[in-house]
Amino acid sequence: MLRQFLFKQKGASSKGDFQKAKNTTIKLSEQRIIEIKEYEEKYFLKDEIPELVGIDLYKKYKNQLEVDFPNYRTGNQWKLKAKGWVGYIPVNSHICLKLNPKIPIKNIFGMLEYAYTIKSFKFLEGIINCDSVKDFYSQLAYLLCQKLLERCRRGLYKNYLHKSEQLTYSRGRLDIEETIKNPWNVKFRCHYQEQTTDIVENRILLWTVYIIGRSGLCSEKVSSTVRRAFHALQGFVTLQICSSKDCIGINYNSLNQDYELLHNLSRLFLDNSVPTHEKGEHISLPFLVDMARLYELFIAEWLKVNLPKNLMLKYQERIDIVKSLYFKTDLVVYESLTSIPRFIIDTKYKNTASVSSDDVAQVIAYAVSKNCKEAILLYPTLLKQPLNQYVGDIRIRSLTFSLNDDFEYAGNTFLNELFSEHIE
């Protein structure tokens, strides 16, 4: 059985275009998968990992992995420790690093559904039965491309773009001033609107399909669907680098309402597909989920849906202190009518048994800057040494939104504790 890596980036041309995609194949039987669980330390014999692979991991993936080279302290073995990331790192054509989650795999999917606001779509229900992040990625890619092909059959969304060109005929609004200044010019400077499919709404989709094709994580069947989606868009849309930020703030109407789902799915892929550091040809891209950021996004979206009606949430709010100095809070809960801050919530996706003094100092600083009397440090697991004390007139607590339980049960438990008046 062959894994198809659909697209190979040759680098951008002077016009920002990319060379057309072409196929390469690598035999799965030739690829070795190294597995490590999140926050786990694991040792490997010196001969199990080539030195160049170890150097690559050390240089490129410091945020995701701690790498100790074979030495006296490690018993002349490789020592790898996974940090708070989950996913796949295709180191080269022969070795792939798999970072497994410490929580149930189905809860990773549930968090992604909440974080990217795709939970309400019924067609996702079958994905929850996937038993790995790779299967989830592949199935979600298939659904995105199927929805995209359906939209292509109905016709891509078009919009009007402003253009200014020198034409041999008059079109739109004639630039009278330039015409008077250059009466000998047989062409006219015209300003006009042109309806086109080559707009950011569609460029996001083409770039996402391109990234999926290069991931190497899709099955053979899904790869075929990804290719079809890519070619369906390619003739109408420019291949241009897009980021997950491009998926935010788009205005939807009756003509492009279905694009909201497509862009939410695209944002998921773009957020978690990590570019490698080399330039030129790449076989594939890592797919890595930053669990700390996902936990923060998940909590934000869950609270937006489940907070009492008299409260509202602001996410990643900027608090200016002085010029060029500001805080960015994770979550601030306000009273809806008065806009008085009720809770500052700082999410802490950590492998810890107790609250750190640095975390306490940080959340208190947030609370003081907002004149808020309740500061919350929120963890995914119950701490052995929880905190519920006053620092000055600010109450600071450690609470839990468990990722090992049913989310609705865990969330309701968290809300009950949040509104509790009990002081130790």
Q: What secondary structure does DSSP assign to 217-240, as a single string?
A: -S-HHHHHHHHHHHHHHHTTS---
Tokens of 380: 């995914």
**Cα gap 86→78, rounded to integer Å:** 20
| Single-letter code of the amino acid located at 144 | L
Domains defined along the chain, listed by start = 2-39+84-155+199-291 (no CATH), 159-196 (no CATH), 307-418 (3.40.1350)
Q: How far is CA 79 from CA 42, 45, 73, 89, 309, in A?
A: 6, 9, 10, 17, 50
The secondary structure element, H or E, covering residue 294 is: helix 291-306
Could you tell me which residues come within 8 angstroms of residue 147 by beta carbon, excluding any fewer than 6 positions away? 258, 261, 262, 265
**Cα gap 83→65, rounded to integer Å:** 6
In sequence order, the β-bridge partners of residue 79 are 43, 68
User: Are 286 and 214 contacting, i.e. CB atoms less than 8 angstroms apart?
Assistant: no
For position 7, what pLDDT does the model report? 42
C-alpha closest to that of 343 among 399, 409, 411, 406: 399
CB atoms within 10 A of CB 207: 23
pTM beyond 0.95: the answer is: no
User: Are 330 and 296 contacting, i.e. CB atoms less than 8 angstroms apart?
Assistant: yes
User: Are 38 and 64 contacting, i.e. CB atoms less than 8 angstroms apart?
Assistant: no
**Cα gap 101→415, rounded to integer Å:** 25
| Single-letter code of the amino acid located at 366 | Y
From the CA atom positions of the chain, what is the Rg in Å?
26
Helical ranges in 101-199 per DSSP H:
105-115, 133-154, 176-181
Tokens of 181: 């200044």
Q: In tens digits, what is the pLDDT along the chain, a chain of 424 residues?
A: 333 334 433 333 333 443 443 333 334 445 688 899 999 999 999 998 999 999 989 998 888 899 999 999 999 999 999 998 998 888 877 888 889 988 888 888 889 889 998 866 554 555 555 677 788 888 889 989 999 999 999 999 988 777 787 877 777 677 777 776 777 777 888 887 778 899 999 999 999 999 999 888 888 889 999 999 999 999 899 999 999 999 998 999 999 999 999 999 999 999 988 765 444 444 467 888 999 999 999 999 999 999 999 999 999 888 777 777 777 888 999 999 999 999 999 999 988 888 999 999 999 999 998 999 999 999 999 999 999 999 999 999 999 999 987 899 999 999 999 998 755 5
**Cα gap 10→48, rounded to integer Å:** 32
Could you tell me which residues come within 8 angstroms of residue 204 by beta carbon, excluding any fewer than 6 positions away? 242, 246, 247, 263, 266
| Helix pair 291-306, 407-418: axis angle to 10 deg | 70
**Cα gap 197→56, rounded to integer Å:** 41
DSSP reduced 3-state for 367: helix
